[in-house]
Amino acid sequence: MAPRVLVAFDESPQAYAALRHALSTYPDAEVDVLHVNDPREWSSTVGMNGFYSEEAYKRSQESAERLLDEATEIAREYDAEITTDTTVGKTSSAIVRYAEGNDVDHIVLGSHSRRGLSRFLLGSVAERVARRSPGSVTIIREEQPEQET
């Protein structure tokens, strides 16, 4: 049975590198590409009552669809087929929840390589996923330049 690999995908260069890494490293795997729509990115807060902008949510869903179409195009470069999905939630929790619910063997995701105070304040999605993942995790720190032969 082919392994099942989950790639967490957003618009960052690290996510594109993670997808390319998964496709080249696991050519026989079933590859799922997941985009997480985090409500904190499309919500507004007024006083103590938070609310979600329906228009902002709609735009984020349309953006996710375009992004996943790009992932499908990248997979074609590797003669691979992928399964794409999107979910709403806190990014690290949503990735782990998807992996647990879909029998994922391995997760590949990019790291934005935050250090120091910004990492402390913002946290590290990659670190939280690695700690909570039901399987192994590969973290791609940055896009690697192609090597000359």
Q: What are phi and psi of 23, to 5 degrees?
A: -65, -35
- Is residue 89 a contact partner of residue 38, using CB atoms and an 8 Å limit? yes
Q: Dihedral, CA atoms, 13, 67, 106, 28, nearest 10 degrees?
A: -100
Distance, CA of 88 to CA of 83 (rounded, Å): 17
Whether this model's pTM surpasses 0.75? yes
pLDDT of the residue at 119: 44
Domain ranges of the chain: 4-140
pLDDT in tens, the chain (149 residues): 789 999 999 999 999 999 999 999 999 999 999 999 988 776 554 444 455 677 888 888 999 999 999 999 999 999 999 999 999 999 999 999 999 999 999 999 998 755 544 444 445 888 899 999 999 999 998 655 554 44
pLDDT of the residue at 118: 43
User: How many Å is the Cα radius of gyration of the chain?
Assistant: 16
pLDDT of the residue at 127: 87
Q: Specify the CATH number of the domain 4-140.
A: 3.40.50.620
**What is the bridge-based pairing of β-strands 136-140 and 4-8?**
unpaired
- Directed axis angle between helix 54-77 and helix 13-25, to 10°? 40
pLDDT of the residue at 124: 82
Distance, CA of 46 to CA of 134 (rounded, Å): 38
Distance, CA of 5 to CA of 20 (rounded, Å): 12
